[in-house]
């Protein structure tokens, strides 16, 4: 699917390295949520996960799920 996107997906293991060695936790969290418009996020190819999962699961599991995904992405950062 990556070839079909207008913006090339980033290497999720390089986020901290590309941010002067610091993992931008809340920026990543808000990017996953999708309800905050992010300049570098590109077009509408990425679903708004916050709204979608909130409709399915309600508000609390949505935040827990997005936090879990953000912590996972933080854990896979290249050393």
Length of the chain: 79
Q: How many CB atoms lie within 10 A of CB 55?
A: 9
Residues 6+ apart with CB under 8 A from 28: 15, 70, 73, 74
Given a cut of 90, whether residue 1 has pLDDT beyond it is no
Over residues 39-74, the pLDDT tens digits come to 554 555 555 555 555 555 555 557 888 899 999 999
Whether the pTM exceeds 0.75: the reply is: no
| Per-residue pLDDT, 59 | 55
Confidence of residue 4 (pLDDT cuts 50, 70, 90): confident
Over residues 6-38, the pLDDT tens digits come to 877 889 999 999 999 999 999 999 888 776 665
- Domain residues of the chain, as ranges? 2-75
Torsion angle in degrees (nearest 10) through CA of 52, 8, 40, 20: 110
Task: Supply 28's token pair.
Answer: 């990543």
Burial class (CB in 10 A: 0-12, 13-18, 19+), 28: buried
């Amino acid at each position: 699917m990556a070839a079909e996107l207008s913006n090339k997906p980033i290497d999720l293991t390089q986020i901290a390295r590309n941010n002067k060695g610091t993992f931008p936790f809340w920026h990543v969290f808000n990017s996953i949520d999708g309800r905050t418009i992010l300049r570098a996020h590109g077009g509408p190819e990425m679903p708004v996960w916050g709204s979608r999962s909130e409709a399915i699961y309600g508000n609390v599991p949505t935040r827990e799920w997005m936090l879990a995904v953000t912590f996972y992405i933080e854990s896979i950062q290249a050393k």
